Amino acid sequence: METSSKRKSSYREKRKKVRQAACSCCKTQSSFNWQCRCGFAICQNCMDENFWGMSCNGITWVCPDCGDSNGFGNQ
Ligand SMILES: [Zn+2]
Ligand SMILES: [Zn+2]
């Protein structure tokens, strides 16, 4: 519900705009995680490693926790 008129690459941002969840697989906090609405999060590394098991079409990935489908590129 906020207007995103700021530049994308503003380097110094004091506020956390997104809740950072640790990767549910390797427990590492990375700059980017794929997240399911159930709270499951997976980092890009783990996604790459588990891609064969989590995505059957390259368009969606299935959350191993709740079995829900999540789309790629839906940021
Ligand atoms: Zn991970
Ligand atoms: Zn889920």
pLDDT of residue 37: 94
Ligand 2 centroid – CA 41 distance (Å)? 8
* CA–CA separation, 10 and 26 (whole Å): 29
Average pLDDT score over the chain: 83
Ligand nearest the Cα of residue 21 is 1
Q: List 71's β-bridge partners, or say none.
A: 60
For the chain, give every domain's residue range. Answer: 18-75
Ligand nearest the Cα of residue 64 is 2
Ligand 1 centroid – CA 5 distance (Å)? 32
User: Is pLDDT above 60 for 65?
Assistant: yes
* CA–CA separation, 34 and 32 (whole Å): 7
- pTM greater than the 0.75 cutoff: no
Q: Are 27 and 8 in contact (CB under 8 A)?
A: no
* CA–CA separation, 12 and 46 (whole Å): 28
Which architecture, in CATH terms, is 18-75?
A: 2-Layer Sandwich (3.30)
Express each pLDDT in 32-59 by its tens digit.
999 999 999 999 999 999 999 999 889 9
Ligand 2 centroid – CA 43 distance (Å)? 14
